[in-house]
Structure formats: C-alpha cells, structure tokens
Structure 1
Amino acid sequence: MSEPCRGVLTTLQALGLQKEAAARDLPAIRRWYAGQDAEMFNEKMMRLARLRYIITSHDPFDAEQTALCLEPPASAPRYKSALALDELLEGNFPAACRALELRAKPKTLRAAQELLCECVAALQPVFVTAAAPEGFAYCRGEARPPSQDILDKDLSDPVFVPSSQQVLDALILPLCQHFSLPLSLRMGTRRAVNPALRLAGDAAGSAELRSLGHLCEANPKVKFLFTVLSRSDQHEAAVLASKFRNLHLWGCWWYCNYPSVVAETASLRLELLGLNFTYQASSARVHDQLIYKWIHARSMLKKLLAAKYSELMATGWQVSRGDIRRDVYRLLGGAFEEFLAKP
C-alpha cells in the first residue's frame, strides 16, 4: 500500500521484470541486476524516467567527498553538478574542520571560502544547495557584512559557533553573488529524530519561512530556489514565492513526495502561482527511484492539468495542443531554466 513499495513495483514493471515481481522471485531479479552494464542501465533509467539531465549534489565539507569536489571525474553525459553546503549551514563545524585539515588549510571561514571557490572552479555547479536546519533564522536588520574577525576565527574553538546567518553572510551569499549562482534551500528538516537509523532517522519539521523572506529582501541580487518538507508549510511557501522576483519554488520533496500531498500541493501552486514553479524534482538517493518517481509524477500531473483545463474550457476558453505543450514544459523544468537565465 505504501508509496515506496508501489514505487518498487512500478520500477520493476518499467524494467520488464513484472513476471519476476509477480512471482516474488527475488533471486531472479537480483540476477537480472547483476547482469546489467552500469552505463547502459543509466541510459535505460533516463529513458524510462524521460529525463533530459540530472543534477547531482556534492558536499566538499563531507570528508569523503572533498577530493572529488576539487578533482571531479569526467561527468557522464547529461549529468550536472550542484555544490551542497549542508554541513556548514547546519553547523557541523567538526566535519568542516576535518575537510579543511585534509587540504592543509586553516580551520576558518576564510579558508572555507577559498576551498569553495576552488570547488566552484572544478565542479562548475548549476547552483549551491543547503538544508536549512530546524530553527533556522535570518533576522532583518542585523549588521552586514560580517567583520573580518568572524572570517578568521578558529572553527575548532568550541566557544566560537557561528550562527546560520553568520555563515550565510560571511560565506555562502558572497560566494553565490560572486559566481552568479542561485542558492537552493531545502527547509524544515528535523535531524536525527532516531539516531539509531542514521541517515534514515531524520523527520519533518517546520520551515522558518519568515527568515526566507528576509533573505530575499536583503539579497535582491541573489536568486533563491526553495522547497519545504512539511505539508503544513506548503500554503505559506506558495504565497511567499509570489512576493519575490528572486525566489522560485520547486518540487514536493522527500516526505511531501506522496501522491495525496503532491495532488493537494500542486493544485494549490497552480492556483496561486500559475506556471511559475517547478512541479517535480525527485531528490532521489537511489538511482532506480528516478524511474518510479517520474512515472508517478507525470501520471499525477496529467490528472491535475486535465481538471484545470476543464475548468478553463467551461468558461468558453479554448485550450490548444500548443498551450498544453508550453505548460507541461514550464512545469517540468522550463520555469526553472527561465528563472536561472533571467537577470
């Protein structure tokens, strides 16, 4: 009954393994996977999901990823990069210090800034992305830019713990402005509700959307992408997205990527924002998830648009095939690309 279980079945069906799935023949499914060529399977996945390209995130302050951020392998066709700064914005400074130490750099925000500039040059990211921690706050009217003292203080000193706003003002926002990179914020994650589950132990929390409004107001030259994790934040998020030219709302992320929530949220956004949002962004950790997430998303979008077009046609308005193509294109990436391209 659950969406993840249905997703597994949708994926197996798309891959031509419905007989094995119906027979509950897990060994046969594993044998099929074991016989796949990685590059060929990647192409098959992209064809079944009907994707033009994929953006993968890379966090240089995760010690396992630092070297790859600075010397990335040759990109596979149709893959692009995003620079992830979750560790920094969420205040995991021990992890940031380990990454800086690996590169023989001082444990300071200034050194972190240098490292990030090197990563941008190497990765050529489409945008910078970060998870805004629960309780994230960005206050209107605080002193900006930060003092040089903050940039040069020792991050390993337990007495010095920069706030999210200080990290943004000292490091992330100047980086985005200098390289003309949008900042994508994933808002409302409550970390480690059950630490025993490790990565699976996170839950949904509240997004501090007032702070996002302050960010957009204070930084009109920076473009912001955002999504929220809690269903209860979706209405406020859509209203906020209608108020700032430098703000773009994308996808139903993680715990909101379930059909009942997607239907409600997408309908709300269509009514509030028209086509000025991105309907789906899959945020998949597992390659195969892209197949079912996009199959299910397109199926839901057909139902939503059919209902909206019926309402328009009831007024006497005629909807052409060209209208439908334009609208679907904008909802499935066109509006995102237009947002990135606008001055």
Structure 2
Amino acid sequence: MRGLDDFLAECDRAPRINELAGFFAATAAGKTGVPVRKPVADNRLLPRDKLLRDLVSLHAARQGFFDQHYHGSIPYRLEEECRMAYAVLKYARDRDRPLSLYSLGTAEGTMARTLSELSEGQIRTLSCSPNPENYECYMAYGEPPHADFFIGPFHRLTKDVLASTPRLADFSSGFDMILEDTTFQMYSPNRPDQVEFVSQHLKQDGIFVFVEKFRAIDETDYRLREYQKDFGFKARYFPPEEIEKKKAAVLNTMFGNEVTVADMGEAIHKHFSHCALTWNSGNFYCLAASNSQENLNRYVSQMASPAIPHEYVYETSVHGGSSD
C-alpha cells in the first residue's frame, strides 16, 4: 500500500482512540450508556426457522455491555445482525472447506463468536477492538472454540502481526469474509485508504461487508432520519438526556468522518467489481462487495427479507457506478 506510514499516522490520531477513547471504554465496561432494558430481537420480523432461532438465542446469551448499547441505538440493527449471521451460516454450509471471517472493530464480537460456536468449526472467526473491556466481555463466557480476538485498533492488525502470532497464523493467508461494522467512521473520512488497507486481508474471491452511517445528499433528509431514530426507536432504551449527551460527546465528532453512499461506492469500486446494498435503516446502510459475482450472489441469495419496518427504509439498491 502506497503511503502506508501516513495512513497509519492518520489512524493513530483518530477520535476513536483519542478523544472518544473514554466513551468507548466506559460503555464497553458497562459504566455508562446502559439501556434501560436489554434489546431483544423481534422474532415476528424474522423467518420461522430452527437454525435462526438457535442463533438468536445464543446471540442474546453472549451479548456484552457495548452490544446492548449499540443495538439499543440503531433501529433494528439487532435483527439485521441476526439476519446477516444466518446468511453467513448458510453460505458457509455450502462450502467444502471452513470459512474464515474477520469482524472488524465489532466491540465484543458477539456475532463472530456466535457463528463459530454454532458452526462447530465450519466458521473460524477473528474479532478486533482497541478496548480490553470488550475482550473481557468476550471471555466472560469462557474461551470460545474456533474464535480469536485481537486487542488493538484495526490498523495495527497487519499481515506481519497475523503471521507472527501463532494462534492467528492460519488467518495470514486471508479471510473469506470481512465485516466492517461502523468502524471507519470513527477514524476519518478517508474511505479509499481504509478500504485498501483492510482489503489486503481479503482473499481474491472473498466478500467485504460494510455497515456504516452515511451522510445524505440533502441535509434535511439526514436530520429527519436522525429524529426518527432518536424519538421513534432509541427513546425505547435511553432517556432523553442520555440521547442528547451522546450526541454532544460522540455523534457530532463522528459526523465529520461520515461520507455519502456515492463516496463509499467510489472507494469500493477501486477494489471490487460488484457491490450490493443489503440493508438500510435511516442513515445506516449495509453494503456487500466482492470480485466474485458468483460468491456475492450466493451470499445475498441466502439472506431473508430485511427484518425492519418499511418506514425506516429509504433505499433498496445501490445507484450509479458499476454496482449490481
């Protein structure tokens, strides 16, 4: 990667591990940001399927402090995480070899751990977070089989680190799937370099999934969707003063690092030939990209319908560029 030293220095200055470090540490430890009740997946929105029900149940049992804060903050993100994990399970079942998944910056790695446990080795996962508090939650239920955790920011997990760490060495050949979950937006708006840096860990025919909050073309649309999120959903889990406190302490900083869907599309298509939008909730979107149209289509075809009320959905497809 050209300009690697500059990129690493940029990441080292990022809000996520500097001015916002205290927020993330306290939330991951359950000292602040605890919802008034634990978010529970609405099974009415999900298919009736035993494997999915087992996944939802185990996922709920493995959640830590930050996941509860996170799923109480984004409308129907919990249902989407279960829907996504269900698709990954089915996608992995069709393979003749185990699937490797890197869950990038996803707090205590609940989804990754759940996938490894349920698949009994068919899915091997690596989770990543700068916060040791998240690792403590990850280990609270014992060391999970077929799953590992890297304590550190994503830009410090290099190929050299993977190759030189015995328990991670098997991942040095690359991952079949990578999930970036609202991580890049906590570092900078530099999506081209962020995507390039992480893509070096992905196999040639692998799938890169991005979950991010995006700026809207119209600022009014963005603001109205934020009102819907805060007063239509988030208020179920947090009192008004808590919502305003987070907006002042975190969200205003994060906004400066958000990009538009079009900007993200440009960054993705520098490295991937195919991209699909698989979920939208207000200003949050999920995109899946790959250089293998066959693998991407196979993964997307395993997904059930989005488990979210239609009033929160504003986009159902990627526009422009060479997107599918």
Higher helix fraction (1 or 2): 1
Query: Please, what TM-score do these two structures have when normalized by structure 1?
Result: 0.32
Q: Which has the higher contact order (CA 8 A, sep 6+)?
A: 2
Query: Please, what TM-score do these two structures have when normalized by structure 2?
Result: 0.33
